[in-house]
Every structure is written in structure tokens, then in C-alpha cells.
Amino acid sequence: MSDEKKPEPKLPPTHDSHPASTRVLEENQNDLDQLRDKLAGRCSDVSVQFKQTVIKTDRDNVIAALEILKSDPELKFNMITDITAVDNMRRPDFEPERRFTVIHTVYSVERRKRVRLETDLSEGNPRIPTAAAVYKGAAWIEREIYDMYGIEFAGHPDLRRVLLPDYYEHFPLRKDYPLTGRGERDNFVRAEEVE
Amino acid sequence: MGLEQMIPSLAGEGFFTTQVNKVIAWARKNSLWPYPFGTACCAIEMMATLNSRYDLSRFGAEVIRFSPRQSDLLIVSGRVVLKMMPVLAEIYQQMGEPKWVISMGACASTGGVFNTYPQIQGVDQFIPVDVYIPGCPPRPESLIDGVLKIQKIIDGQAERGEFTRPTVEAN
Ligand code: SF4
């Protein structure tokens, strides 16, 4: 047993006082300004939500914005992490003009930065140009979104269902489709009755 | 009445007599060749049953066949969805007679917790099932019990259809 006084336990620095976190915030601010600058005219808003950079854009500008994000020598968002969609139908502030939101998440392997592009689509015309021309990996992800939401990707090289069988008539992740389906799962012939 | 009683000179000579169908049933039940239709987590437990720790070969059912034409016991272990159901039905049809089916686990038997649009709510709606094994997943002992029940059906100690699908009322 030593008589030495134990060192005081070090408390982790609080979020605000941490010098590194201030540095991160400053960097974020610079990033946002840079994105606003590069995407001028292609996006309506650049903000931080839940610590993620979100770029609001629209159907006519989304591909041009993706092209800038990918090919700009300072941005270098060279990887498509994911594309997904949201059906806003059950939201309290729902309007048919914003029925679906398509979300592209792109990542820069070199800069270790990630941004999200949000594009609202209307109920009557859920169409958006394909990102497959910019990022090749987008083609399969877009097939999955088409499969689940029925959102059409104009110019897609091969827009077919990918998970559900080709004969399926509905888009199951739309909020107006019941969880248990419309009887598709009960519609088979008993094996011993088939010749 | 055995032959040895009718012909006294045969007694004590190492003979016994029986019926041909009993011999065939005895051979069949002790050399089941299962087809593993493992589509989800239950299949892991089926693999455990086949491994040396539980060793299904003690009951003569270790020759897993991946061709339905060579197998006589279909073990449906796991979830079956819309796209898989026609495949399962075709595999069932490709198996030669006589054939038996085990529906292993909650998902194969009733749909389990997956009351959703693509999930078949019990494969027995579309293929005949002889033995249902409850559990999520069933323990290897349960699967062994299921195979023993199939053996009972084969040698006539139990009727086909005797082991029925578990219902909510029965619980
Ligand atoms: S019953 Fe349970 S363990 Fe078996 S397939 Fe279903 S979820 Fe998996």
C-alpha cells in the first residue's frame, strides 16, 4: 500500500467547453459555406440536422448537384453510401406536393465527410432522374426504391423489381399499403393439387 | 403366428418371420434422408442437430440430401416468403413417394412474429405437413423428437395427421 494521494479523477470535458468541439463546429461552418457556394442555384437550403449536413434540392437540380459534389476537386464526394426514400403521408403537416422524399447520401472517402441530399416529390408524379449516370452503384439501390415505393427513376438502365416477384402489383412501403398485404401471401395452389 | 410355429423343424435355427411391409418400414424409418429447406435462423439449429453434439445420425437421419429426388423427409426450417413458396412447392413435388414433411419452428408453422405482406402464414396451407415443431428456434432436442415422431408415423405407431398444427386455443 502506498501513501501516495490518488490523483483526482478527470471528468470528461463538457461538450461546450471542449476545445476540439469548437474546432469541429468552426469546420462545419466552413463546410456549409463551401457547399452553399459550390451548389449555388442547385440547392434551396444547406443546414445541419441531427449533426448531419442536409442539402435541400429539387427534381430538376438533384443530378447536377450530385455531379458537382462528385467531381469538384475540393468536395470529392466520390462514393454513394445509400439512396432511400420516405413516404410523408402520415405526417401531420402532409401535403400531396411533398408525398415522397428521396434521400441521397454521399460520402467523401478522402475527406471523411458525408452529406445528405433531400428531394421532395409530389404524389401525382413520383419521378426523379436516375443517379446511375453519376454514380454507377446507384442503379441497384434505385431498383430497390422503385420496388418498395414505386418511385420512377427516369433514364434508369434497368428499372425492374429486385426483391419482390415481378408479378407483384403494389408498393409495400407506401403508407397506404396495409402491413399484412392485400392477400398476396394467401394466394397459392396447394402442392398436391398441382399436376 | 410365425412360420416357425407352423414348421417345427425351423424353430431354433436362427429364423424369424415377419411381414414384408414391416421390414420395409423398419428400414425406411431408420434411414431417413432429409432435405434441408433452411431459409432462416431455424436452419442454424438444424445444423446443430446434425453436428456431433446432438448427432441426428444416431436415429439414422444423417444423410442430408440436397436433391429432392434423393430424399424422403422435407424439413422446412425457417421463414418462407412469397417468392420462396413456389420453390418449396416444387421441391415437395419433386420428392419421390413416400415422403414426409416436418415444419420446424414458429415461422414455418404459423408465420411466427412476421405477420407481414410477404410472409406465408404457415406452409401447411400449401403443402401437407406431418409434424410441427414449436419454438423460436426449437432446440435440437425438439427436432430430434420431431424425427422420432416421423419414425412413428412410418412404422404405423401413429397416424398421418395425428400431430396437428398448434392453435392458439390449444395453448
Ligand atoms: S421460428 Fe424463430 S428461429 Fe425459426 S425461423 Fe422463425 S424467427 Fe427464426
Instruction: Please give, rounded to a whole number of angstroms, the shortest distance from the CA of A169 to a CA of chain B.
Output: 12
- Full residue range of the structural domain in which residue A91 is found: 26-171
Taking residues A108-116, report their average pLDDT: 91
Q: What are phi and psi of A112, to 5 degrees?
A: 55, 50
Query: pLDDT-based confidence at A22, cuts 50/70/90?
Result: low
Judge whether A189 is closer than 8 Å to chain B, CB to CB.
yes
By Cβ distance, the residue of A165, A172, A185 closest to B120 is A185
A191 in any annotated domain: no
Q: Count of CB atoms within 10 A of residue B159's CB?
A: 9
Neighbour count for residue B147 (Cβ, 10 Å):
23
Alpha helix ranges (H) inside B9-164: 20-29, 42-50, 85-94, 105-110, 140-154
Residue A116 lies inside a defined structural domain of this protein: yes
List the residue whose alpha carbon is closest to atom 6 of ligand 1.
B107
Closest-CA residue, ligand 1 atom 7, reads B136
How do beta strands A45-49 and A152-154 pair? unpaired
Q: Is the pLDDT of residue A110 over 60?
A: yes
| Beta-carbon separation of A190 and B126 below 8 A | yes
Put simply, the chain A residues between 143 and 182 with a CB less than 8 A from any chain B CB are 164-165, 168, 172, 177-182
Residue A131 grid cell: 443517379
| Total count of domains within chain A | 1
Cβ atoms B24, B17 nearer than 8 A: no
Contact A184 B117 (CB under 8 A): yes
Read off the pLDDT of each residue in A161-188 and give the average, rounded to a whole number. Answer: 89
The answer to whether the CB atoms of B118 and A185 lie below 8 A apart is yes
- Identify the band that residue A47 occupies on the pLDDT scale cut at 50, 70 and 90: confident
Atom of ligand 1 at shortest range from CA of B44: 3
Report the alpha-carbon distance of residue B114 to residue B105 in Å, rounded.
Answer: 13
Domain assignment present for A30: yes
Distances (CA, A) of A36 to A44, A57, A94, A109, A149: 9, 12, 28, 21, 30
Q: What angle is formed at CA B87 by the lines to CA B86 and CA B93, rounded to 5 degrees?
A: 90
Sign of CA dihedral B51, B52, B54, B60: positive
Residue A33 forms part of a structural domain: yes
Instruction: Tell how far the Cα of B108 is from the centroid of ligand 1, in angstroms.
Output: 8
- Please, are residues A56 and A104 in contact by the beta-carbon 8 Å criterion? no
Provide the CATH topology of domain B32-154: Rossmann fold (3.40.50)
| Nearest of B170, B118, B161, B54 to residue A148 by alpha carbon | B118
Find the closest chain A residue to B118 by CA distance. A185
Q: Tell me the pLDDT of chain B averaged across its residues.
A: 86
Q: What is the dihedral of CA B40, B45, B46, B50, to 10 degrees?
A: 150
Lowest-confidence segment of A34-48, A156-170, B11-25 by average pLDDT: B11-25
Chain segment B127-166, per-residue pLDDT in tens:
999 999 998 999 999 999 999 999 999 988 888 877 766 5
Domain boundaries, chain B: 32-154
Q: Is pLDDT of B86 > 70?
A: yes
Evaluate whether residue A59 is within a structural domain: yes
Query: Under a CB-based contact definition with an 8 Å cutoff, are residues A63 and A86 in contact?
Result: no
Output the nine-digit C-alpha cell for A90.
402520415
**How many Cβ atoms from other residues are within 10 Å of residue A24's Cβ?**
12
Instruction: Tell me the CATH number at A106.
Output: 3.30.460.80
Q: Which residues of chain A are within 8 Å of residue B86 when distances are taken between CB atoms?
A: 188
Inter-chain touch B125–A188, beta carbons under 8 Å: yes
Q: Are B100 and B153 in contact (CB under 8 A)?
A: yes
B137 upstream amide cis, omega within 30 of 0: yes
Specify the pLDDT at position B18: 77
pLDDT above 70: percentage of residues in chain A: 85
- Residue A104 resides in a domain: yes
Q: Supply the DSSP symbol for B133.
A: E
Full DSSP string of A62-127: HHHHHHHHHH-TTT---EEEEEEEEE-TTSTT--GGGSEEEEEEEEETTTTEEEEEEEEE-SS--E
The answer to the question of residue A73 being in a domain is: yes
* Ligand 1 and B136: CB distance under 6 A: yes
DSSP H or E segment with residue A148: helix A138-149
Query: How big is the A-B interface in CB pairs under 8 Å?
Result: 52
Residue A144 lies in a domain: yes
In this predicted model, what pLDDT tens digit does every residue of A60-86 receive, in sequence order? 999 999 999 999 998 899 999 999 999
Q: Locate the chain B residue with the closest alpha carbon to A195.
A: B93
What's the whole-model pTM score?
0.79
Is pLDDT at B99 greater than 60 in this prediction?
yes
